[in-house]
Structure 1
């Protein structure tokens, strides 16, 4: 009924000759939105962003109403009505949302942490493709409390690492007896777009009705475009966005942002666990970042004396393999536009991995330029690292450089190149790479890359490359890939999990959707299998892995998965799996089976349970993992996780356990003041660590951080009664206060 009334209202408003929309001249009647096109209305008087839709500008704007489900019933009409209106003035782009809900008391809204888990609440997305290149877009996320997050979509790809861009925009909401409303104001200075008096943007709007696990979109984008991320992945299908028209004569501004910081702290460290003496060090420092929109297409970021004290701690991992562990980047300076610099196989063989910069010494100064020049996406980064500011560009500092260019050669196809260079007192390490990607048939993709590395000693003069073809739609998938990594391949600014290999891989998948009327509680099955064959550069087999899984997804967002795995490993040298436990060289074959259950994490109490068991290097291994979460209210969230592996190998000291325990506590007073504590323990190091971070967003884009880190070592053993007075020794503790302030010119 609401949709019919809305359509009649639009027809009347647009059909009356003298019924003009506010801010339009008599010759500029605004047409009603279509299935793929909407016209923004100029606002003579800007709306006051408070979540109430009573501003005059919203009264006569024809809304977008034709939202379509992408999940759970792809292509069906939305079960709840939605209306979205778009306006602008010379400095801002405005959105007004009216999300009707027949049961407003069931609206889920509990996250107050900016950048937190809005996906557990009712929420909305705005996707904006400013260049209309069909590949890249800005993504703005708001939940029913107005809590924000944002992301940058790169080359129609999105991941959880994409949510790192911190835009400054305003969103406010109201929950009432009809559902919830929201107003959003996005400054044009936060966007980059081409020159022109009149602009057209690509636009996508998404609403998530959480308790129904229902995602609706405008324009309609089918599940076949979702790729591996399903309905969530359709948000990144920029080539399928609708058109936002009518934006004229806007101000671009100076586009200069300066963000200085001051920091003070103290750290107490025990140099020797056997010694009760501790050393205390006090720190005071200043520094800052600057962002300058050189043109409407290019942005320059500068950083001086960069500090990352507020960065969250890494999750503890125990390594039971003979390859490197991957720890994701969490530092804001490197995360923004990180997708542009991606090259290689993610988390496996990356040509550039920013985590390699500034971990063993300080970042003294740095610059980064990113932007769009016609069809070309460009990025360049230059970072100077060292021990003291006096070392900048000196003989004791290290220079880290990366340059990236990528261009679209035709719709949904790109080619690019990347260059990295490290100049240190010990010499240089350089890499040159090329890549291409072609997306076709909705989610299908061809991908290839090649990188050559060399240094001043010729010891690392080697290369790596990859080629893959993946055919995929919402039901079927299949792919082949080949990866070749040289024995001495080691880009200084990259991440390489495994060298000296040639890997041949294949996968098949079948994901049938269950008819809604047949089994209302069951929505989809996922069947998948994959095979990997890895040999050395000498052609000798090293690893094979055959795996398969079957998953049932339920309408309630619960799922259960059964999996099986057969693996062969050939060790050419002894492998220390842990201290004093050596697996001898030889051939090993082991089989395992596992089961995993997941509940709806948007509910008050949620959790996961996973178990697997099987052979392991001529012995046995059983893995148990579980997590539980409790969303007490919008002010308190608690989550805990336990991972426990029981290993029994026929070698000396081969019977042992590997355990990690962690607890995360989120407390929020408001959207501007929240605190998070991460407490972790593992039985290998026997260290108990705590990272506590309080964040007060005192003005948009500006923060006051209070950070406390502490580490204790448990010295007791399993044979005696644990006594915390004797068996707990403080390793270190540190407290830091950091104040930032955003100045916009």
Structure 2
């Protein structure tokens, strides 16, 4: 515990040294926006009166490949508004001859694989949260919520309209964003704003207000100013009802049960309490249209993480789910309704004012008699207070409560806890220019009969410049710390993770940058006795055409704290306390995104548990008939050889995928997954027709087979209809 106290003191001193304030970095970049009395027609033409006298944002700065000059590709942006909409038009001139490069017409495309234009705005001028909208050169829309100053949540989805027209020398993007679709504070006449352009034909990324190349252009620390001629209009009453009706059937062939027929109804409501605070309500939600998780070959000792995909949990998800670290999450929304029906729920989230954010959530699930699982209530309280220039202090409380529960006497069904609670506080550091970032966190859990070591503490500090990366992170998770509504796969350990990296920028070379990254991940038990470590050296090479080559060497030591089957197939287990040392080499290449045919491949070879060896081959090949069809084949092969009863084991994981986007509102996806480790073949097809903005019709078909003789395990067909009513 002396070590823990030393860590706490050192964190306090360290973060106290970086209390930063300062003027906005790009305060000299200003764009005026004036109200128009005639609504803009969203047609991709610049003949509206609003554009004739509008201020123009031009002279973009290059971000990639280098950030030391103006962009070679010319872009011009104009903005206007009326009582209902925020308008924007961007003229994106071609930098070289040839067709545009796009992945598909699918919404929320991959930024690095498309010619695109995006705009980011910070309506609170807090440099930490905001919104992004945009499109690729074929007209596919992009929208998302910005959190932690420069991270994008593309799952956020709202109603807005846009149009893209292509010409011989340019493409034009025109958009209208309803004020009801965004959150902002009334009365503010200056918003943070920036524009980003990605042009794959010239391998150039640019922005209006300059952004250092080591940061994404979405970084709100580097926005300019959008200066309104009058305060933006109030959004007015903003209530949306999103009901759904659903029908389907499913059959479990492995249990020889009769076909089950489904018919369901439910829905969500979105109510704007203020222009920046939103109340979400749900009754009998259904998430059958959500794309299934990709299967993986699991050779890990701990639980794997899969991201949240359900729409209800996504708006302002960061204030709930980003508390903590990747492997220390006190709240993880996928724990709610995991194979259990949700009855109803409510979420209040957003801004109270410029400095305060709030998140309140209450969800209730149904009981499941055959698993002796009671009705459970999940309550979450999250508060966040901005401090200094871009930093904040956060508070979180999570409560899971079993209601009217008396456990049965069956020893087969596990006994649920009456309650589990977690309380925490954290400080998030972000300097004005984003060079210094970090976090310090303290958590404590409460459960019936809980042990004495229920504290978790962690901190990290990062310095990122164009050439240099320095990072330190440490964690302590007490043996008795339990976060049932979180994701904490490991307990009873101390972890330290320092990193140091450097980049070289050769002149007049096909190589844009290259350099080493050295890091150590060290684990010890609570008595600070070594249990695991991995020392690694990575050499990273990025080419001017945006292809990437990485090489990696590592040395690993593991002392097993519990029995472990190194094949994860139910075979014999290695004993607790056994020690394993091995080295690994790895090389990876990712091709340039401009090509119609793209590919990525990596090879990993080295030692494995019990003086064994492991060869892993991973590849992905894709071809696109842009912008309508994309075909991808991904595969992973593991060859494991372990002395003893395991012998030689090999696992294939193969996954073909077809994406068809006939228009930017009609999508069809089909993919298969063959997982040799779990002996399962999965087929999934999904048709989505967005017949009106934010209103959808889905048809989803899933099938699971045993690889032997293609025997059917189960299959299901669901049709779902949703409609977004704006009141």
Verify same fold: TM over 0.5.
yes
Residue 259 (structure 1) aligns with: 242
Task: Identify the match of residue 698 of structure 2 among 700, 705, 727.
Answer: 705
Q: Is 1:421 equivalent to 2:412 in the alignment?
A: no
Moved more, 181-190 or 333-342: 333-342
Q: Which residue of 1 aligns with 2:550?
A: 561
What residue is the counterpart of 1:530 in the other structure?
519
The aligned residue for residue 414 of structure 2 is none
In the alignment, is residue 740 of structure 1 matched against residue 727 of structure 2? no
Q: Helix, strand or coil for the counterpart of 2:44?
A: coil
Distance (Å, rounded) in 1 between the aligned partners of 2:339 and 2:632: 32
2:654 maps to 1:661: yes
3-state SS of 1:449 partner: strand
1:669 Cα deviation after fit: 1.2
Q: 1:279 maps to what in 2? A: 258
Change in CA separation of 1:671 and 1:343 when aligned onto 2, cut-off 3 Å: closer
Q: Does the 8 A contact of 2:96 with 2:201 survive in 1?
A: no
Matched position secondary structure for 1:248: coil
- Deviation, 1:647, is 0.5
1:545 to 530, 534, 544: 534
1:724 matched to which residue of 2? none
Q: Is the 8 A contact 2:150 2:218 kept in 1?
A: no
Q: Is 1:498 aligned with 2:490?
A: yes
Identify unmatched segments of 5+ residues in structure 1: 1-32, 227-232, 716-726
How far apart, CA to CA, are the structure 2 residues paired with 1:552 and 1:118?
Answer: 20
Q: Summarize the alignment of residues 223-262 of structure 1 with structure 2, pairs less than 5 Å apart.
A: 223-224=213-214, 226=215, 233-238=216-221, 240-248=223-231, 250-262=233-245
> 5 Å matches for 1:338-377?
338-374=317-353, 375-377=355-357
Matched-pair contact (CA < 8 Å) for 2:27–2:224: no
Q: Give 1:134 deviation, angstroms.
A: 1.5
Match of 2:444 in 1: 452
Pairing 1:72-91 to 2, within 5 Å after superposition: 72-91=65-84
Paired residues of 1:419 and 1:432 also in contact (CA < 8 A): yes
- The reply on whether 1:207 has 2:197 as its aligned counterpart is yes
Which residue does the alignment assign to 2:365? 385
Q: CA deviation at 1:335?
A: 2.0
Equivalent residue pairs, number: 680
Provide the rounded CA distance (Å) in 1 between the counterparts of 2:277 and 2:243.
Answer: 22
1:156 pairs, out of 149, 154, 161, with 149
Q: Quick one: which of 40, 46, 59 aligns to 2:39?
A: 46
Corresponding position of 1:673: 666
Distance 1:471 1:315, change over 3 A: same
Match of 2:384 among 406, 419, 422: 406
SS of equivalent to 1:45: coil
Distance (Å, rounded) in 2 between the aligned partners of 1:249 and 1:481: 43
Number of the residue aligned with 2:299:
320
Q: Is the 8 A contact 2:100 2:115 kept in 1?
A: yes
CA contact (8 A) 2:284 2:342 kept: yes
CA distance in 2, matches of 1:729, 1:60: 68
Instruction: Please state whether the residue corresponding to 1:201 is helix, strand or coil.
Output: strand
Contact 2:155 2:311 in 1 (8 A): yes
Aligned to 1:218: 208
Contact 2:450 2:480 in 1 (8 A): no
1: CA distance, partners of 2:452 / 2:120: 43
**Secondary structure of 2:480's partner?**
coil
Contact 2:254 2:712 (8 Å CA) reproduced: no
Question: Which residue in 1 is equivalent to 2:422?
Answer: 431
Alpha-carbon displacement from aligned partner over 1:554-590 (angstroms, at most 9, x marks no partner): 1111111111000001124431223223223411110
Deviation at 1:626, TM superposition (A): 0.5
- CA deviation after TM superposition for structure 1 residue 361, in Å: 0.6
Matched, 1:728 2:710: yes
* Equivalent position of 2:410 in the other structure: none
1:121 aligns with 2:114: yes
Q: CA separation in 2, counterparts of 1:445 and 1:357?
A: 31
Residue 366 of structure 1 deviates from its aligned partner by: 0.5
Distance 1:483 1:509 in 2: 21
Please report the TM-score for the alignment, with normalisation by the length of structure 2: 0.91
Whether the 8 Å CA contact 1:377–1:407 is kept in 2: the answer is: yes
Question: CA 1:110/1:657 → structure 2, altered by over 3 Å: closer, same or farther?
Answer: closer
- Aligned residue for 2:573, secondary structure, equals strand
Give per-residue Cα distances to partners, 1:23-62, cap 9 Å, x unaligned: xxxxxxxxxx995111112111111101111222212223
Partner of 2:48: 55
Match of 2:12 in 1: none
Q: 1:191 to 1:247 in 2, by over 3 A?
A: farther
Correspondent of 1:179 among 152, 166, 170: 170
Tell me: higher relative CO, structure 1 or 2? Use CA pairs within 8 A at least 6 residues apart. Answer: 2
**CA distance in 2 between partners of 1:167 and 1:238 (Å):** 25
CA distance in 1, matches of 2:316, 2:55: 35
Quick one: structure 1 residues 422 and 243, their matched pair in 2 at CA, closer, same or farther if it must change by over 3 Å?
A: same
Name the SS of the counterpart of 1:57 in structure 2.
helix
**1:571 equivalent in structure 2:** 560
Deviation at 1:668, TM superposition (A): 1.4
Q: Residue 585 of structure 2: which of 579, 590, 593 is its match?
A: 593
CA RMSD for the aligned pairs? 1.9
Structure 2: stretches of 5+ with no match in the other structure = 1-25, 406-416
Q: Does the 8 Å CA contact 1:136/1:238 hold for their aligned counterparts?
A: no
| Residue of structure 2 equivalent to 1:10 | none
Secondary structure at the aligned position of 1:496 is classed as: coil
Q: Contact conserved, 1:453 with 1:461, CA < 8 A, in 2?
A: no
TM-score by length of 1: 0.88
Residue 278 of structure 1 deviates from its aligned partner by 4.7
Q: How far is the alpha carbon of 1:442 from its aligned partner?
A: 3.1
Aligned match of 1:636 = 629
Matched residues in 2 for 1:621 and 1:107: separation? 42
2:20 is aligned to none
Matched-pair contact (CA < 8 Å) for 1:118–1:142: no
Do structure 1's residue 36 and structure 2's residue 29 form an aligned pair? yes
